[in-house]
Structure 1
C-alpha cells in the first residue's frame, strides 16, 4: 500500500486477527521504545543510529520500518521474531539483520514468527533507479505450508477487506456491549442511536433500526483485566432511542443484550489465541456481575428516549434534503436553482454588517471587542509596536475607598482597625453595591494613569490604550498597552542590545520598573494624608 505499514501488516497476516489494526501495533511499538529506550539504545544504536530520531519517524506514516521496530515488536507481541535479510549487496555490518530477536529476559516467548526483508520491485529495476545499489523497502511474512493451505480457502473479497474471513464461533454474534466488554482497546465514546422507522403507532411493526457512532481517542486505553465493569462500560456507551412509542424490551435485547457465557467463552479464546491478550487477567468478579442473557440494568438506566411523532421528522432535518419537498422546483429549463447560503444571500450579509456596525458601539458586546481591536491596530500603525503590556486588577474588597463609596462609615483620613470588618463582611458589602465598586475602580485607575503612567514612573510615554474587562465574580480589571517615547524599532533594539553599556542600562531600567519581591511591604500598610502618615496592621480576616 506504500503507507509504511508493511511490517505491521505482515504481523497481522500471521496473527490472523481482524480485531487488531496496524495503527494499534504502531502505537504499542512507540510506547515500548519510549519506555525501554535505554535498553534499545545500548543494544542497537551502534547499528542504526539514535533512537530518538527513529521514534519520531515511527510516529509518522509513509516511513519505512527498521531494526528498532522489529526488536520492539518482540516485547509487544511477546514472541521471537526471526529476521531474514537477502544476500544482496550484503556487508559484515549487516549481519545483525539476519538474526532471531527475542523478548527481554523477564518475558517468556510464547511463539515465533519470521519476517523477510524485500522490495516491491525486482532487483534489476531497483538498481536502475538507485545508482546500481539495492536496498529493501518492504517486509513479507514467511508462513509454514499449512498457513498457505488455509489462505487458499479465503475468498478474494477478504483481500480487499470486504469479508473478514473465518471467524471463530466464540467471537461470532457478539453484540456491541459484549464487544466493548472484552476489548483490550476501546473507543473514547460510542453512541448507539435507535429509532422506529414508522410515523404512527398504528402502522409500527416490531422492529428497530439504527446506527452506531464511535469517536476514536488519540492513545489506546489499555486495560490489565477483562471484562470491564458495567459502570465503566456505561461511561463510554450511550444509547439514544427516537420513536413514536417506547421500545419493547425484546426489541432492545437484540441489540444491547449481554450474555455471561458468551463473554466468558470469547475471553478464554482471545487469551489462548491472541498474542495481545495473553497477559490480560480474566476478572471473575466482573463476570459474575454480568446478566445471564439480558440487557444490563446500567444501560437501561442511562438510555435516553425521545418519544412522540414530532421528534421523528426533527431528527431527520438537515441530514438529506427531501426530493419531494418541492416537486415543481427546477422543472423549468430556464431556471438554475441556487441554495440559500450566506454566500449568495446578499440581504443577510448586509444585515450582519449593520449589526456589526451598531454592535461596535454597544459596550460589552462581541462586536465592541472587535472594534477595540481595530483601534489597537490603528494605534500600532501610527505609533509602532507597544513597549509594555500591563494588567491593573484592583482588589475592591480590601479597598477602604470602595467601602466608603458603598456607604460604610469610614474616616479615610483616620482609619480604625475595628471599622474595617471581616473579609467576608467586606465582600458582602461590595457584592451588594456594584455601582460603588465601579466608581472606586474608575477613581483608582484614573489616578494610577495620571500619576504613575503619565506621571513618569515608566519614563516618558507617547501613548497608551486600555480595555476594561470583568471577572467571573463581577469585579473589573484593566488590560493596557503602553508605548514608551523612543524611536527604536525592533531591528534597532536587536542591534543595540549587543552593546554592553546599552544592555546594562536596559537591565537596570527593567529591574527598576518591574518588582517581584514584596517582602518589604509585608506586615504594615501605609496611608498618607495631608496631615500625617498613619501605620496600621493588615486587615483582619
Structure 2
C-alpha cells in the first residue's frame, strides 16, 4: 500500500505545481486512520555479532567523531538511497516496516507541521518545499528534515552524529539530539551516523577535493558496555542546568534526587569553576533560599566537571590502548606492508591539509608554536639537550636527502642532454643520405583492376535512380530520399492516435470536415473525389503524397505510409511530430491561380506595397554557357509611412515602373527571351489571381478589379508604360 502511495507522490513531484499536489495527497492519506496507526518502536541498543555486521568504512569515519560515541559500533545497512530508513528498520528489528512506509510518514509529518520545520531548519539546509519534493522520490538521499520528522513519527529521540571532516560552525546542528514533540525523561534515544560509502581519499577525488556524506548507519553499544547505555539514556539529565528529578510510584509526585559531591584533585585544573564574584555574593547574602540555590548550582557545576573529567580519562585510556595495539600490529607487519601503511597515512594527512582553509592553517601553526614553547618551558636541561640533538639529526637527514635528490636531478638532465645530441646527429645523418635514396625511389604501382571495378560499382550504385529517388513524408510533408524513409502500413505506426485532428484545425484547413466525415465511413478506402493534398483516415491527418495503396497476398487492400526519421522518433517517444499538421503547423496548398507569379505580377496584384525596393541580381558565373539557373544578390528595403490603402487593382503601369526597377549587371546585355522569364506580365494570369483573391481572401473582398487597367497589360510580354518607362536597366 505504501509503495503505491509513494509512487503517486513521486509522480506528483515531477509536475510544475508539485507542492500543492503533494500536500493534497498527504492530507488525503492523513484521513485514513486505519492506515496510519502509531508505530510501536522499541529500539535495539546493543550489538549482537550473530545478527549484525560491522561497517568497516564507517568505523574509520567514526574515529573522527566526538569522543563519547567512538566506542560504539557501526552497523552495515544497504546503501540504496533509503539508508536512513533502513537504519531505523535495523534498530527496530521489525521486518514488517518498509522504507516506503517511513518515507511516506515522514512526508506527512513535514507537510503537517511545515511552519515549525521551516523556521527551525530553512536557514541551514534550505526551504522545506524543496526537501518535500526530494523526499517524495524513492531512493533519494535523506537530510536533516527527515531526521527531525522521524523523531516525531517514531516518538523517539534521535542523536545525529557527524564526523569532524571539513568541519564548520554551521555544521554544529548535525551533532545534535532531535527530541520529539512529546519528549519525556523516559524517552528512548537512538544514534545515527553520517558517513560515506567510499574512503575519504576516494570521496574527495570524485568530488573536486570536497567531502560530503552520502550514507547513514546506525550506532549500537558493545554487548558488554552497560555504562555507555546508561550514559546515553541520562544524557538529557546530566546536561540540564537544574537538579534532576525522578518519578515515584508512592505518591506520583516529582522528588529531587540527591547527588554526591566530587572534589577534583589539587594538581589538576578544574574546567568549570565557580566565579569569585558568586562566592563574594554568597557571603554577603543572608537569605536561606538564595544560599540554597547557590549550593545547588555549585553541586551541578561540580557534577558536570566530574563527568567531563571522566570522559577525558576514558579518552586517554582508549588512545593508550590503541597505541599499544598499533605497536603490536606494526611489529607483525612486513617492510612492504609497513611502507604501504605509511603511504596511506601520508595520503590521509595530505587530504586533511588540502581541505583546510587559510584561517584554519594559521590557527594550527599558532597552536603548534604554543605547544613547542610549552614543552621547552617545562623541559629539564637534559631533555632540552636531547631535543636539540634530535633536531640537529633531523636537519642533517633532510640535507642529505636534498643532496641526493639534486644529484639524481643532475644525472637525469645529463642523460636527457646526451639523448638529445644523439637524436640530432641521427637526423643529420638521415638528411645527408636522403638525396641518394630519392634517386632509387620506384614509381607507384598501377591501381588494381578489382579496385577500379569496385569503385565504379559503388559510384553507379550510389548514383542510380533508386538511390536518388525521393518521396514525401505522409505526416509532415517533407521531401526526403526514399532510403531515409520508413515504408510501413498505417497499423504499424506507433502512437498513431497522436495524429488525430485538433479541433482548431477545422477552422483553418478548408474542407477538412467533409473529408473527415467521408473517410471515416471506410478507413481502407480513400476518397476518389478528394482533390486536396491531404486526407483523413479514422480522424487522423495524412498527406496524400506520402500514402500508397497496395494489395497483400490475400488480395486485401492496405495503405502504406512513408514516415521520415524525425516523425518516427517522435511517435516512438509518444510525442506529436514537430512539423505535422496535428501540431497546428499548417501552411496550406498554393492555389493554381497564384502559382508561378513573376515579380511584376506580384507587385500589380499586391494590396500593400513598399515605396521603393532595390534588388541587385548577378550571375555567379562568368560565362552564360556554363551558368546554372541560379542568382545571388542583396535586397534593401526602406520603411515608409502607410498613407493610403489600395482600393482598385491591378496597379497602373506608370506606378509599377516608378516603384520597381531591376538593374542587370554583366558583361553583355541579356536577350529578350531571358528577360521574359523574370519580367513577363500575363493579362489573364493577373485577372484569375485577382478573382481568386476577391473570393477567398477577406482583405480583397472590397477591392474593385479595374478591367480597363487589365486591358492595358500585355498578354505575355515585358510591360512598358506610355511614357516609355521600363522596369529594367543594364550596366555593362
Higher gyration radius (CA) = 2
TM-score (norm 2): 0.23
The structure with higher relative contact order (CA 8 Å, sep 6+) is 1
Q: Tell me the TM-score normalised to structure 1 length.
A: 0.30
